[in-house]
């Protein structure tokens, strides 16, 4: 089974291709061109490098969020288009679970963290023996409020953990551990494992209802609620 997974949850963008579980190619770009340009470049590079075309694929995986609203919209819309054009199934997965999957044998709970702007983070706590299992579900919160709920030794990972490292260390001291720097960008090669698991479980997304998981309302929704006096 050939699976193509994409991630556009943060400023990093990556595409990974597996064939029967083996990683065949991955391309990750963490800065530079605009996201939409990078995504297509990453997809082209991965398929071209593997000598494959879209028609050779058996399915798609996509990171659903939480994360950058614009990034997630681009990622989900792109995969929906590809699935519609090729008739191949799609599996979605949590962007934070994908990031936790970067540390598959972590001996302590893993806290994947993205900067959610407005003084908040998208964060969760996962156990990472094998596929990540949520101890605390994906949420959006101020980093201080999120950290207040953590008592034990925890490994922090992601650009949110870099952004708030001083605060994390001030609150948790020696109980706060950090992923090596190269592990902070989320990776489609970690996400593709979650997509493969979803396909194994028959958890295929409907193209009609497949949507990003923003967790918090968008600016447009907030403005509408305000206009309506709610």
Quick check: 101 binds its own copies (CB under 8 A)?
A: yes
Q: Distances in Å between the alpha carbon of 173 and those of 153, 167, 176?
A: 10, 10, 6
Quick check: 41 binds its own copies (CB under 8 A)?
A: yes
Among 34, 53, 84, 107, binds its own copies (CB under 8 A): 107
Location of structure tokens 């006096």: 229
Task: Round to whole Å and give the CA distance between 21 and 85.
Answer: 24
Least separation, in Å, of the C-beta of 1 and its own copies?
A: 12
For its own copies, the closer of residues 104 and 215 by Cβ is 104
The H-assigned helical ranges of 8-142 are: 35-50, 69-86, 95-100
> x/- contact string, 171-210, with its own copies (CB under 8 A)?
------x-xxxxxxx---xx-xx-----------------
Sign of CA dihedral 54, 41, 22, 84: negative
Quick check: 27 binds its own copies (CB under 8 A)?
A: yes
Quick check: 43 binds its own copies (CB under 8 A)?
A: no
Least separation, in Å, of the C-beta of 126 and its own copies?
A: 13
Beta partners for residue 104, in sequence order: none
Location of structure tokens 């295929």: 204
Structure tokens at 29: 């770009």
Least separation, in Å, of the C-beta of 14 and its own copies?
A: 8
Number of continuous H segments (helices) and E segments (strands) in the chain: 8, 10
Q: Which residues bind its own copies (CB under 8 A)?
A: 16, 18-19, 21-33, 38, 41, 45, 49-51, 101, 103-108, 130-131, 155, 177, 179-185, 189-190, 192-193
């Amino acid at each position: 089974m050939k699976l193509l997974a994409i991630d556009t949850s943060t400023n990093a963008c990556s595409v990974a291709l597996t064939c029967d579980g083996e990683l065949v190619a991955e391309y990750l770009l963490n800065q530079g061109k605009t996201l939409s340009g990078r995504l297509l470049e990453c997809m082209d590079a991965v398929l071209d490098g593997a000598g494959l075309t879209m028609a050779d694929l058996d399915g798609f995986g996509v990171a659903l969020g939480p994360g950058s609203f614009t990034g997630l919209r681009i990622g989900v819309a792109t995969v929906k288009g590809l699935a519609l054009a090729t008739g191949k199934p799609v599996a979605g997965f949590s962007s934070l679970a994908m990031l936790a999957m970067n540390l598959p044998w972590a001996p302590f709970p893993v806290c994947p963290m993205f900067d959610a702007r407005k003084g908040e983070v998208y964060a969760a706590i996962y156990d990472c023996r094998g596929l990540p299992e949520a101890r605390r579900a994906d949420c959006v919160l101020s980093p201080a409020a999120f950290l207040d709920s953590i008592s034990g030794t925890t490994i922090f990972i992601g650009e949110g953990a870099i952004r708030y490292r001083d605060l994390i260390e001030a609150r948790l001291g020696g109980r706060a551990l950090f992923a090596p720097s190269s592990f902070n960008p989320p990776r489609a090669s970690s996400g593709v494992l979650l997509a493969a698991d979803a396909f194994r479980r028959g958890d295929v997304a409907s193209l009609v209802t497949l949507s990003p998981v923003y967790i918090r309302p968008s600016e447009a929704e907030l403005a509408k609620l305000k206009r309506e006096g709610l």
